[in-house]
Chains A and B, each alone.
Chain A
């Protein structure tokens, strides 16, 4: 029998939205011991469905039709008290952000204990034994110490393990995991995915796994449900859906997943490097009022070079120092050691006024398209701001902005609008146009496609590649995503803890990684052994 059966679930959206329902006639089931992945891009309604199952829907989004059967009981119509009984005992949920999902002023043990106190009549000793048992089971070291720790004393991966322990301590029949590894680094993600699979096998739990990442789907799913704008477009076994997708939308999504194979284009860069860093370093010194403060080495001894017509990728996990390097190069922060040679001129220690004429040569596109544009300025003002700063007459700047909008495949007529009227992908195109308006020689893309849905990501990557070739730019591409790096980079520098641990042509680094960290990184890439069949 199915643990969870969702039949014809329709969830209404408040009137005045872009569509009438957050979910329309969605039906699927989760069996005992099965992992079902709910996949979709942002706005597909996947999280809303998870919330509906947990009975956590906000009042503005009522269940309009259909039923949600948890072990045969319709919980779409269950009242608050009944839902509270069911949560944690029969179904539980883990969330994307383990920091905000845990109470920062309660110890981890205390938070697990709360679940036990609420739902069982165990004695304090029995509860303590149970807590230590589950903490041991989620493979946390030194359970006694972990149980007495506060969330901020643990790493992101450890916090997510605590969340999982809390969710599974009462052995629920259904576990809902809403993007549980999206906020984690790739190596941590691999461990958490493994843990969820292990526990699920051992306890026979049914798992509803929500994700946008097809690599993760390939790694964990037994069955896959693909959602698009609230409608279920395809449902089937993992291999059937990923290798022989039937629906056009699924095919498009899977086709947009970048492969881990380097692109293999020959990128003949110019002979002279445009930009070279020599022993670049950035040390943060927290100066206290009393005595010496802490020293944090964000980047150390980084020596890289980029030539025109080439893309250098800097790959690394969070905290590896890759963004620090980018921000030093564009001099948003001042490096504390080493040189940054642009055309041979060291700009590392240059004063603001001496730097000013050189600023236009290096431009940057940031990660978050929703925060990269001033919400109070029109797109036109954003794109012409740079040229106006350097004395280009307004008329000429506008003319150029029109050409650039066309270049990034946007309608030049939409330039009088404000950023909020554009989607994330469109905004990122505007940011690219804004950077190109300065006619730069080096374009830095700092996680520029990381916040985008996979289909949009593919388009923006293609655009960046096209622009780089057409304008013969040098590109510095910062990313945590190996697939994206393989897609676009000619050379790759792998960073870990502020240092470059491996540096070379993409084909070599991807083909035969030499450094142990690089190998670990590749090993952790989800779905690396899975051949997506979009053919």
Chain B
């Protein structure tokens, strides 16, 4: 595949542009949350409980000061501002998605490269991965959170672990086909050390499918984080995440559906954007899937 034109193709691709733009907007919103008319997402005020979206109310700051505040997305049963919580929650979702994908890719690449190129390691690594795949992902997550209590790091690790075997399998299968390529054999004949062959010749040629796989992991990680929070086994309830907001909104869903619909819509749009981005990248980067004339 052409190296320069691959990047040009990526930039011309509409799904990549749309998915990328939505994600960029979300990331900017999440980062700039303090300046977008939000209040501290942990603040509550008993006087402003269960407000419908757009209502004006009051909220007590940590200093005990009472300020006027418009609840654009309404408030929950503690009187917390959903708008602020959703915006701050985007930080958690995006961070979890990105970090879990990077972590799974990093471990998966190392394991897959070793299993694929150093054949004596293959059996051991792959049987371990088979074992890992046999444990339900949610169970691993619940066990880890129970052991280490909920924090961002725990949740990221808990989500990344079940993804590692899949990345390992993908990398291993790519390595198995690339190692038979004549250019790899030529490198062996040129006396190139094994380490350089693995990281210099083989790894760069696995990047395109891995980037694509990374986006899918990212999307699923964002969903799983929301599920864990919703089940109450993710981040502690005082940290705003989309899952937590929905979990707190669940008992009063009949009366105040916005508590679930608004974070749910953000979640759906984010996952959709990541998946669209991934599809676009797959069409442009992955030569096997590329549409040819």
Contact = CB atoms under 8 A, between A and B. Distances in A.
A332 B185 contact: yes
Interface string B164-206: 0000000000000000011101111111110010000100110
B182 A385 contact: no
Contacts of A284: none
Nearest to A14: B293
Given A374-B201, A374-B205, A376-B205, A366 B185 contact: yes
A416 to B, nearest CB: 12
A204 interface: no
Nearest to B188: A332
A368 B180 CA distance: 12
Interface in A8-24: 14
A372 B183 CA distance: 4
Interface in B1-32: 1-3
A390 interface: yes
Contacts of A58: 293
Interface residues of B, number: 20
Contacts of B2: 418, 420
Given A366-B186, A389-B192, A418-B3, A375 B205 contact: yes
A14 B293 CA distance: 8
B181 A371 contact: yes
Contacts of A360: 190-191
A164 to B, nearest CB: 30
B182 A371 contact: yes
Contacts of B205: 374-376
A434 B186 contact: yes
Which residue of B2, B3, B189, B196 has the most chain A CB atoms within 10 A of its CB atom?
A: B189
Interface residues of A, number: 31
A14 B292 CA distance: 11
A373 B185 CA distance: 10
B2 to A, nearest CB: 6
B186 A364 contact: yes
Interface string A325-336: 000001010000
A431 interface: yes
A365 to B, nearest CB: 8
A203 interface: no
B182 A359 contact: no
A368 B191 contact: no
Interface string A376-393: 110000000110011000
A356 B191 contact: yes
B183 A438 contact: no
Contacts of B185: 332, 364, 366
B186 A431 contact: yes
Nearest to A370: B182
B257 to A, nearest CB: 49
Contacts of A356: 191
Nearest to B1: A375
A364 B205 CA distance: 22
Contacts of A372: 182-183, 186
Contact of B189 (A14, A332, A390, A420): A332
Contacts of A386: 190-192
A418 B185 CA distance: 19
Contacts of A435: 186, 189
B291 to A, nearest CB: 11
Given A374-B183, A376-B3, A385 B189 contact: no
Contacts of B192: 385-386, 389
A519 to B, nearest CB: 33
- Looking at B2, B181, B190, B293, the one whose CB has the most chain A CB atoms below 10 A away is B190
B190 A434 contact: yes
A385 B187 contact: yes
Nearest to A369: B182
Contacts of A438: 190-191
A447 to B, nearest CB: 11
A535 interface: no
Nearest to A59: B293
Given A376-B3, A385-B192, A60 B182 contact: no
Contacts of B188: 332
A375 B183 CA distance: 9
B248 to A, nearest CB: 50
Interface of A: 14, 58, 60, 330, 332, 356, 359-360, 362-364, 366-368, 371-377, 385-386, 389-390, 418, 420, 431, 434-435, 438
Interface of B: 1-3, 181-183, 185-193, 196, 201, 204-205, 293
24 contacts: A330-B189, A332-B189, A359-B189, A359-B190, A360-B190, A360-B191, A363-B189, A364-B185, A366-B185, A373-B183, A374-B183, A374-B187, A374-B201, A374-B204, A375-B3, A376-B204, A386-B191, A389-B191, A389-B192, A418-B2, A434-B186, A434-B190, A435-B186, A438-B191
Given A332-B189, A375-B1, 10 more contacts: A14-B293, A60-B293, A356-B191, A359-B190, A360-B190, A367-B182, A375-B205, A386-B191, A389-B196, A435-B186
**Would you list the 9 A-B pairs with minimal beta carbon distance, nearest first?**
A386-B190, A366-B182, A60-B293, A359-B191, A372-B182, A374-B183, A376-B204, A389-B191, A371-B182
